[in-house]
Chains A and B, each alone.
Chain A
Amino acid sequence: MTLLFDTQYLFVRALKKVIRNPILLFFSLFQPVIFLTLFTQLFKGLGAIPGFPSGSYIAFVTPGILLQNGFTSALSSGTSMVDELNSGFLQNMLVTQVNRSAILLGRLLSDAFRVTVQSIIILVMAYALGAQIVTGVAGVVVILLTIATFGLAWSGISLSIGLATRRAETVTAIGFFLTFPLLFMSTALFPQAFLPTWMQAVSSVNPVSYNVNAIRALALGGITWSTLLSAYGVTALLALLTLGATLYQFRKVVS
């Protein structure tokens, strides 16, 4: 019971912080718009190249942008945590009776919520630009859920680094170092066949690819259980690792 209440208090607080910070709010909402615009404009011609799997590049790349936005946002989980550690806000919480797990849960849920809002913006924009989700509302819900869970798993990376190093710069540096190679060496932006052979190898074991493929299947093809299950399986495995590390670091901090 206290877990639920405390999580709710901290969830609300985290959202208030975003809403009241106009610059942060602007960038969280427009970051996805900018990515979508840049990528679709830059690579518009790709759709015409023989061997490109679907009709338009926008329909193809939207799942990739959704995911890319999801894990870029997930990086901020770690930096917010560092902020709280270093400002003393976390210590202040720890001298109260607050449920310890709620501190992490409130953070993770508010980040997942933010990513979901951003994802909806991307989907609406992509729709306006002509991309469609063939599986309808149910498909959209599953897509949002897929991104949110992947985002959570990815948050674990920034959170554990943040808790271990207590430096926002380190979180950002390692975060970007991991994010961009994984993004480019996946099926997010280009069809796998378009990648050099060695990148194809990376792409086929890349968790990003699994999730993008699942979302893309939902958007363009239909529900394919095997793709969906393997995406969730990969995410679960990743979450086990990253959130496990987060929990371990968090315990070290709170005990």
Chain B
Amino acid sequence: MADIIDVSDLVLVYADGTKAVDDISFSVSEGEFFGFLGPNGAGKSTTIKVLTTLLRKTSGTVKVAGYDMERNPQEIRKLVGVEAQESVLDPDLTGRENMTLQGNLQQMRGPELTERVDELLKLVELEQVADKMAGRYSGGMKKRLQLASSLVHKPRLLFLDEPTTGLDPQSRVGIWKYLEKLNKLEGITIFLTTQYLEEADKLCGRLAIVDFGKIVASGSPAELKREVGADTINFSLEGGGQDGEAAKAKKILSSLEGVTEVFDSDGGLTAHAKDASRIIAIVVRALDEGGIRLSSLNVSTPSLDDVFLQHTGRRIRAEELGRMPDRRGAFGMRRRI
């Protein structure tokens, strides 16, 4: 199938010199469900802004459906739908009016638009509240309305910038359901960014793991996990591994047969090992003999988090916890639209 997105050597440097996107290349085929997984500030939103004509790239080539970003932005706008990360609804308009305005701006009017709006309100199950002010909607309802708005002009390609960030688990699963439906039943190509491992794992047929503006790995979730090639053993050390305990434990673990890699993680260590459950007894004994006290231990098959860890040396979860408001603020400031 033809590539609907074709990006090579894309670089984006903001006016203040921040390199938000650092030489990335990737392509997405028509009909794919493709994802960018990475922590805040990895360059996910910036990439979407370039692909949706909001930001002018510094260098590289970007083609969407064969159209050149600079020469045919209007053609691209016709066939892409975008759901921004922030709520972009007008709180003083009803859900229906918000969607109708969106349709109007996409050059639709008359009965064709009315029907489309009704159809989409039904799809995202908002018919009951369609005539209430959008400002009164819950977070999940707002996201659903935004999703529906981005679909009003029947785009072939949908960009979703963290569509479930800040939602409760139930609303998140609801959004997932619509997205799978859109991709599978309507054949819409979806490009999604997320910082949630589960979301990427569940939805994306193929994904790229991004960090500091670079793609560090890409492939299907299964491929990526297979590449890790080993199970994960997570250790929590008593007292958080202070006084060189962690270093000592690391040394012991590294010397064991079957253990391929050892990383530091919050309050403990993470080791990769083939068939971890078989060697677990040996591992525990070795640590015990070395005088290392464990507060907990668990063994798991590889997750995308392990993939991220392997490529970046950090856990994506730690980034999520460390989502400091000032970091967001700084990003928002330098962000051009």
In the complex, what's the smallest C-beta–C-beta distance from B318 to chain A, in angstroms?
Answer: 28
Q: Which positions 89-108 of chain B face chain A at CB distance < 8 Å?
A: 89-90, 92-93, 97, 101-102, 104-107
Complex contact B337–A16 (CB within 8 A): no
List, in ascending order, chain A residues with CB within 8 A of B88's CB: 87-89, 91-92
The answer, yes or no, to whether B232 is at the interface (CB within 8 Å) is no
Q: Which of B48-56, B197-205, B297-305 makes up part of the contact surface?
A: B48-56
In the complex, what's the smallest C-beta–C-beta distance from B51 to chain A, in angstroms?
Answer: 10
Complex contact B337–A96 (CB within 8 A): no
> Which single member of A5, A6, A20, A91 contacts B337 (CB below 8 Å)?
A91
Complex contact A92–B84 (CB within 8 A): yes
Complex contact B74–A16 (CB within 8 A): no
Q: Which positions 83-131 of chain A face chain B at CB distance < 8 Å?
A: 85, 87-98
Complex contact B56–A88 (CB within 8 A): no
Bound complex: CA of A175 vs CA of B107, how far in Å? 36
The answer, yes or no, to whether B86 is at the interface (CB within 8 Å) is yes
In the complex, what's the smallest C-beta–C-beta distance from A225 to chain B, in angstroms?
Answer: 43
List, in ascending order, chain B residues with CB within 8 A of A13's CB: 90, 93, 101
List, in ascending order, chain B residues with CB within 8 A of A197's CB: none
Complex contact A95–B102 (CB within 8 A): no
Q: Which of A5, A6, A96 has the most CB of B within 10 A?
A: A96
The answer, yes or no, to whether A255 is at the interface (CB within 8 Å) is yes
> Which single member of B53, B84, B102, B153 contacts A88 (CB below 8 Å)?
B84
The answer, yes or no, to whether B285 is at the interface (CB within 8 Å) is no
The answer, yes or no, to whether B77 is at the interface (CB within 8 Å) is yes
Q: Which of B54, B105, B153, B336 has the most CB of A within 10 A?
A: B105
The answer, yes or no, to whether B82 is at the interface (CB within 8 Å) is yes
The answer, yes or no, to whether B136 is at the interface (CB within 8 Å) is no
Q: Which of B52, B86, B92 has the most CB of A within 10 A?
A: B92
In the complex, what's the smallest C-beta–C-beta distance from A28 to chain B, in angstroms?
Answer: 14
Q: Which positions 1-30 of chain A face chain B at CB distance < 8 Å?
A: 2, 5-6, 9, 13, 16-17, 20-21
Report A145-159 CB contacts with B as 1/0, cut-off 8 Å. 000000000000000
Complex contact A96–B92 (CB within 8 A): no
Complex contact A98–B105 (CB within 8 A): yes
List, in ascending order, chain B residues with CB within 8 A of A93's CB: 105
In the complex, what's the smallest C-beta–C-beta distance from A251 to chain B, in angstroms?
Answer: 12
Given contacts A87-B86, A88-B84, A90-B337, contact A95 B92 (CB under 8 A): no
Complex contact A88–B106 (CB within 8 A): no
Q: Count contacts on A: residues with CB < 8 A to the other chain.
A: 24
The answer, yes or no, to whether A48 is at the interface (CB within 8 Å) is no
In the complex, what's the smallest C-beta–C-beta distance from B151 to chain A, in angstroms?
Answer: 13
Complex contact B337–A253 (CB within 8 A): yes
Complex contact A97–B77 (CB within 8 A): yes
List, in ascending order, chain A residues with CB within 8 A of B54's CB: 91, 94-95
The answer, yes or no, to whether B80 is at the interface (CB within 8 Å) is yes
List, in ascending order, chain A residues with CB within 8 A of B82's CB: 92, 95
The answer, yes or no, to whether B78 is at the interface (CB within 8 Å) is yes
Complex contact B106–A97 (CB within 8 A): yes
The answer, yes or no, to whether B58 is at the interface (CB within 8 Å) is no
Given contacts A85-B337, A91-B54, A255-B56, contact A96 B102 (CB under 8 A): yes
List, in ascending order, chain A residues with CB within 8 A of B133's CB: 20
Report B309-322 CB contacts with A as 1/0, cut-off 8 Å. 00000000000000
Bound complex: CA of A89 vs CA of B92, how far in Å? 12
Complex contact B92–A94 (CB within 8 A): no
Given contacts A90-B337, A95-B52, A96-B77, contact A6 B92 (CB under 8 A): no
* Nearest neighbor of A19 in chain B, beta-carbon distance: B92
The answer, yes or no, to whether B87 is at the interface (CB within 8 Å) is yes
Complex contact B337–A94 (CB within 8 A): yes
Complex contact B90–A95 (CB within 8 A): no
Given contacts A95-B54, A95-B77, A96-B77, contact A20 B106 (CB under 8 A): no
Complex contact A6–B90 (CB within 8 A): no
Given contacts A85-B337, A94-B54, A95-B77, contact A20 B92 (CB under 8 A): yes
Complex contact A9–B78 (CB within 8 A): no
Complex contact B90–A89 (CB within 8 A): yes
Report B51-85 CB contacts with A as 1/0, cut-off 8 Å. 01110100000000000000000100110101011
List, in ascending order, chain B residues with CB within 8 A of A5's CB: 104, 107, 109
Complex contact B101–A9 (CB within 8 A): yes
Complex contact B106–A96 (CB within 8 A): yes
Q: Which positions 253-301 of chain B face chain A at CB distance < 8 Å?
A: none
Complex contact A88–B104 (CB within 8 A): no
Bound complex: CA of A27 vs CA of B78, how far in Å? 40
> Which single member of B80, B89, B92, B153 contacts A16 (CB below 8 Å)?
B92
Complex contact B104–A2 (CB within 8 A): no
List, in ascending order, chain A residues with CB within 8 A of B97's CB: 16
13 A-B contacts, Cβ less than 8 Å apart? A6-B105, A9-B104, A17-B92, A17-B93, A87-B87, A87-B88, A91-B88, A94-B53, A96-B106, A96-B153, A98-B105, A98-B106, A255-B56
Across chains A and B, which 5 residue pairs bring their CB atoms closest together, nearest first?
A92-B88, A88-B86, A96-B105, A98-B105, A88-B88
